[in-house]
Amino acid sequence: MLTGKELSVEILRRTRSPMTPEELWNYAVKNGLDKDTSVKGKTPWRTLGAQIYDDISKRPDTTQFCIESRKPTRFYLKGETTKESTEEIVVEKSGIKEKDLHPYLVSFVKNDPHFYCYSKTIREGTASSKHLKQNQWMYPDIVGVHYPFEDDYDSTAYELFENLKQNSVRIYSFELKLSITPSDVRQFYFQAISNSSWANEGYLVAKNIDDNAVEELRSLNSSFGIGVIKLDLENVAQSEILFPSKVRLSLDEEVVSKLVKNGDFEKFISRVNKSIKARDVNVIDYDEVLDDETLNCRSK
C-alpha cells in the first residue's frame, strides 16, 4: 500500500503539474489510486498535505517536493518541467506567443452565438508583486461579459426576465495556450480550473490541440466542467468549442473579491456594473474586436 507521500509522488509524476492536496486526492479517486493507498478517513487530502509538509520540513535537502504557490498551496516535484519552461519551448518553435492569440479569441467570442460577449485582457502585472507571487494561478488571461439587454428581446419581455432573475448577465473566463499536448494537458487544464472556475463559464483555449490529448480533455471536462476551445487563426469563425463549460448560476464571491486586487480586473468589474446600470455598453471599455481582414494579415 502506498503512503500519502508515495501516492502524491506518483500522481505528480503522471500529471507533471502543480496540484493542491485536494486536487491530488480527486485525481487518485478518479484513476482508482485511492484503492492502493493506506490513506483513509473523511478528509484524506489533509493527510496528503500533512505528509508532504512533513517531508519538506524534515528533509529539506533531499525531499522531492517543492511548493509552487500558496493560498491555495500547490506542490510539484523537483526536476519536473515547469509551466514557464514548457511555454518557452513552444514559443521558440512556433515564433508566436500566447498574447498573439488574444485578438483571435476576442473576435471569436464577440461573434459566436454561444457567447456574444465583450472581452478584456487581464495583465498579471497590474496586481501587486506580493499578491501576484502568492496567486500565480489565480488570474485568467481574458475575461468576458454578455449583456442580456443587447439580445433581441422586447423591452417588456426583458423586464419580465429581470424580475424573475432569468437571463442575467453572464461572465466568462478564458485561459489561453499555444498548444496542448499529452504531456502538459493536465497541467494546463488544472490551471484553467484554478483561474476560471469562479466564473459563470470557464474555458481553456489553444491554437493547437494534439489528437492524443482530446480524450483526456473530454474526461477532464466531464469531471471538472471547464470547457475547451480550439482557435482557428486562418478562419476565426471556424474556431470550435470542443467541449462546453458547465454553467455556474452564480459567481464565486470570495474569489472575485481577491481578483479585484488586480487593476485590470477591477476596471472590468467596474465597467460591467456601469453598463448594467445604464443598460448601455461603451465598446472602448473592452478589447478591440478586429475585422477578418486585419486578423488574416496577422496570421500570415
DSSP character string of 40-57 = -SS-HHHHHHHHHHHHHH
Closest CA to 119 of 298, 281, 10: 281
Flag whether pLDDT at 7 surpasses 50. yes
Residue 137's pLDDT band (cuts 50, 70, 90)? low
Report the number of distinct structural domains present in the chain.
2
Domain-ending residue, one of 60, 77, 94: 77
Distance CA(183)–CA(240), nearest Å, equals 22
CA distances for 160 relative to 94, 110, 156, 214, 275, angstroms: 50, 26, 6, 41, 19
Domain-ending residue, one of 62, 77, 92: 77
Domain-ending residue, one of 52, 77, 102: 77
Q: How many CB atoms within 10 Å of residue 160? A: 13
Distance CA(202)–CA(171), nearest Å, equals 9
Flag whether pLDDT at 243 surpasses 90. yes
Q: What is the mean pLDDT of residues 143-158?
A: 71
Peptide bond into 72 cis (omega under 30): yes
- The 3-state DSSP composition of the chain as helix, strand, coil percent (nearest 5) reads 50, 15, 35
Q: Which residue has the higher pLDDT, 207 or 278?
A: 207
Flag whether pLDDT at 198 surpasses 80. yes
Closest CA to 173 of 152, 146, 147: 146
Q: What is the mean pLDDT of residues 115-139?
A: 66
Q: What is the mean pLDDT of residues 234-238?
A: 91
**In the Cβ-directed half-sphere of 145, how many Cα atoms lie within 13 Å?**
25
Flag whether pLDDT at 131 surpasses 60. no
Look over the chain and give the mean of its residue pLDDT values, rounded to a whole number. Answer: 83
DSSP 78-103: TTSPPHHHHHHHHHHHHS--GGGGHH
Query: Do 147 and 264 belong together in one domain?
Result: yes
Query: Do 115 and 18 belong together in one domain?
Result: no
pTM: 0.64
Instruction: Quote the cell numbers at residue 284.
Output: 472602448
Distance CA(33)–CA(236), nearest Å, equals 41
Q: What is the mean pLDDT of residues 134-139?
A: 62
Query: Do 120 and 43 belong together in one domain?
Result: no
Q: Which residue has the higher pLDDT, 153 or 150?
A: 150
Residue 200's pLDDT band (cuts 50, 70, 90)? very high
Q: What is the mean pLDDT of residues 105-121?
A: 94
The residue segments making up the domain with residue 16 are 4-77
Q: What is the mean pLDDT of residues 221-249?
A: 94
Q: Using CB atoms within 10 A of its CB, is residue 96 exposed (0-12), middle (13-18) or buried (19+)?
A: middle
Packing angle of the helix pair 44-58, 4-15 (nearest 10 deg): 90
Side chain identity at residue 141, one-letter code: D
Note the pLDDT tens digit of each residue in 58-105.
887 788 888 877 667 888 888 764 444 344 334 434 467 888 999 999
Computed on alpha carbons and rounded to an integer, the radius of gyration of the chain in Å comes to 21
Query: Do 241 and 108 belong together in one domain?
Result: yes
Query: Do 106 and 210 belong together in one domain?
Result: yes
Flag whether pLDDT at 163 surpasses 60. no
Q: Which residue has the higher pLDDT, 260 or 232?
A: 232
Query: Do 39 and 60 belong together in one domain?
Result: yes
Q: What is the mean pLDDT of residues 42-71?
A: 85
